[in-house]
Amino acid sequence: MLTKQKRKELNSLKFDENEVLRSIIKEDFYEFVKEFWNVIVPEKPVWNWHIKYLCDELQIVAERVFRNEPKKYDLIINISPGSTKSLTCSIMFPAWIWTRMPSARIIGGSHTDKLAMDLSLKCRDLIESDLYRSVFPRIKLRKDQNTKSYFMNNYRGSRYSVGVGGSVVGMHGHFLIIDDPLDPEKAISEAELKTANRWMAETLPTRKVDKRVVPTILIMQRLHQDDCTANLIEQAKTVQRMDGGDLKIKHICLPAELTDKINPKNLSKHYVNDLMDPIRLSREVLFENQAKGEYAYAGQFLQWPVPLGGGMFKTLKIKIEEAMPTKWKQRIRFWDKAGTAGGKGAFTVGLLMGEDLKKQFWILDVIRGRWDSSARESLIKRTAIMDGRAVLVGVEQEPGSGGKESAEGTVKNLAGWRVRVDKPSGADSSKELRADPLSVQVNMGNMYIKRADWNVEYLSEMSFFPYSKFKDQVDASSGAFNQLTKAVKRAGALW
């Protein structure tokens, strides 16, 4: 219990408000965000639980850099749009880092230069605000290095912004912060995916001041089975398998609705009425976004790029059976060919499909692998022999003279078998359009699969299609179905 004299002495002390504030918000990033919210956002703040959680997780990563300690992991945050993710991670966080480590160099990336520069500009506005200057008067931006995309302070700390795929030559960072590396409108594009994944995997890691210490922080919505989140996690698992250590990734996944994708799992206790943020992302807001499209909603809000009821293919309606029919109306082994041996390219797939006497369709066998052209053609011939001459053989002819020569080679290799060559062109060459007739049968529950080890990978690819990492098995299925449902004109090669 304080005496009256002691209380009088304490009350007589004068405190510098800025000094008190500085001592608090330097040590607590969440307090910094609360203090500077109105500098950037005119609306009244809503302090949902996830904001503090993300602030604390970002600070844990940053503290190791401040102490120059080897990082424990890179950080991935999957969260919905409209949840202050960019404000917290790309605008506030770099400004706070400078309060503890003014010499820190920060590289910030987004899917376009425009978005990257917009985030950088807002960060710069915060640092140049009256409040920031009064609380942290030592930190000043240099006039000779002060642009939207690159600015530096008087301690030689810097923030550089770049669009994914852009040049970072000459730049090195203590923090790599990548915010939305994929444009939701272009996530289905193979070219966009490859550019983003290659840039994240090959370019950015070379831009670290110290690879042992510097963390990569990725913030995004899930948009594709093979997006940057999936790639970074797979890389980390590969390293873990090699060195036998811990997984060097902390993956935070916060879907807008309560699902089994929440990570860490214990965060589900914070959901209110099964919603992550019942005010910003209320039922009404989610319904409105869901009405715009199931795929976009599944990826951007549920953090799993497959609608809850299934995507183009409602795979839950496929029946997996042990026993097969004994009589068939027709069967076909369709080959979707790739000329890659080993590596990570496309697969060659030979899929056996049958139509029974009840007009039900069956996936009976899937052969999948990467072989050079010689080994592949030998496999196709051996498989035809094992299937028997009652099974039709289908081959897709890729566009161009090379595709024609490859198809002709297979037909000659299968002399004596019934062979059909499928030559999709123009609008008919769209993978989605070609898969549409098959999806009708799947979605009405008229597709069966023979139980086998290949079922898991097959159904996974079909579930994600057309946002799947690989499409070879679905392409082979589409080709088989489309040929199977055509009337047989005559035996022999059909062109």
Q: Which two tokens stand for residue 17?
A: 């408000």
Give the pLDDT confidence of 13-22 residue by residue, as tens digits: 455 788 888 9
Tokens 């042992």 correspond to: 212
Q: Are residues 289 and 337 in the same domain?
A: no
pLDDT value of residue 438: 93
Q: What's the average model confidence in pLDDT over 419-426?
A: 81
Whether pLDDT at 492 is above 50? no
CA–CA distance, 436 with 490 (Å, rounded to integer):
26
Which of 277, 300, 323 lies at the terminal end of a domain, its last residue?
300
Give the range of the structural domain holding residue 173, as residue numbers without chain letter. Answer: 13-300
Percent of the chain with pLDDT over 90: 69
Residue type, 117: M
User: Which pLDDT value is given to residue 298?
Assistant: 87
H helices, E strands: number in the chain: 17, 15
350 and 398 co-located in one domain: yes
- For the record, the structure tokens of 365 come out as 């066998």
How far is the C-alpha of 422 from the C-alpha of 98, rounded, in Å?
Answer: 61
Tell me the β-bridge partners of 110.
163
CATH of the domain at 209: 3.40.50.300
Give the mean model confidence (pLDDT) for residues 25-42: 95
Which CATH number goes with the domain that contains 474? Answer: 3.30.420.280
3-state class (DSSP) for residue 110: strand
Dist CA 19 CA 350 (whole Å): 71
Confidence at residue 493, expressed as pLDDT on a 0 to 100 scale: 39
pLDDT beyond 60 at 495: no
Domain identity same for 232 and 348: no
* Residue whose pair of structure tokens reads 């990569």 in the numeric block: 216
pLDDT of 398 = 81
Determine if residue 2 is left, alpha or beta; phi over 0 gives left, psi from -120 to 50 gives alpha, anything else beta: beta
125 neighbors 131 (Cβ within 8 angstroms): no
Task: Tell me: do 278 and 364 sit in the same domain.
Answer: no
Give domain status of residue 439, yes or no: yes
Q: Does pLDDT of 310 surpass 80? A: no
Looking at residue 489, what is its pLDDT? 43
Task: Please identify, among 300, 328, 346, the residue that sits at the C-terminal boundary of a domain.
Answer: 300
The more confident residue out of 184 and 231 is 231
What percent of the chain shows pLDDT beyond 70?
Answer: 92
| Whether the predicted pLDDT of 107 surpasses 80 | yes
Residue 85 within a domain: yes
Q: Is residue 307 part of a domain?
A: no
Please check whether residue 295 lies inside any domain of the structure: yes
Residue 305 in this model has a pLDDT that exceeds 90: no
pLDDT band at 407 (very low <50, low <70, confident <90, very high): confident
Token reading at 18: 């800025």
- Inform me whether the pLDDT recorded for 381 exceeds 50: yes
Query: Do 286 and 321 sit in the same domain of this protein?
Result: no
Token duo for residue 291? 């009405």
Residue 2 lies in a domain: no
Provide the mean pLDDT of the chain.
Answer: 90
- Residue 339 covered by a domain: yes
pLDDT higher than 80, residue 401: no
Do 273 and 413 reside in the same domain of the chain? no
The mean pLDDT value for 37-57 works out to 94
Residue 193 to residues 91, 199, 223, 433, Cα–Cα distance (Å) = 25, 10, 10, 21
Per the model's pLDDT, the better-predicted residue between 428 and 307 turns out to be 307
Q: What is the pLDDT of residues 112-147, one digit of tens each?
A: 999 999 999 999 999 999 999 999 999 999 999 888
Residues 255 and 342 in one domain: no
Based on the fold, state whether residues 330 and 357 are members of the same structural domain.
yes
Do 344 and 242 share a structural domain?
A: no
Q: Which amino acid is at 315?
A: T
Is the pLDDT confidence value at 46 over 50?
A: yes
pLDDT in tens, 318-356: 999 999 999 999 999 999 998 666 667 789 999 999 999
Total domains in the fold of the chain: 2
427 and 403 fall within a common domain: yes
pLDDT tens digits, residue range 441-489?
998 999 999 999 999 999 989 988 888 888 999 999 999 999 999 854 4
How many other CB atoms are found less than 10 A from the CB of residue 51? 21
Separation CA 125–CA 131 (nearest Å): 11
* Domain edge (last residue) among 275, 300, 325: 300
Tell whether 174 is covered by a domain.
yes
Same domain assignment for residues 249 and 290: yes
Residue in the block written with tokens 């969260």: 79
159/173 Cα distance (integer angstroms): 9
237 in a structural domain? yes
Question: Residue 466: is the preceding peptide bond cis (ω within 30°)?
Answer: yes
Integer Cα distance of 130 and 88 in angstroms: 20
Same domain for 154 and 72, yes or no, is yes
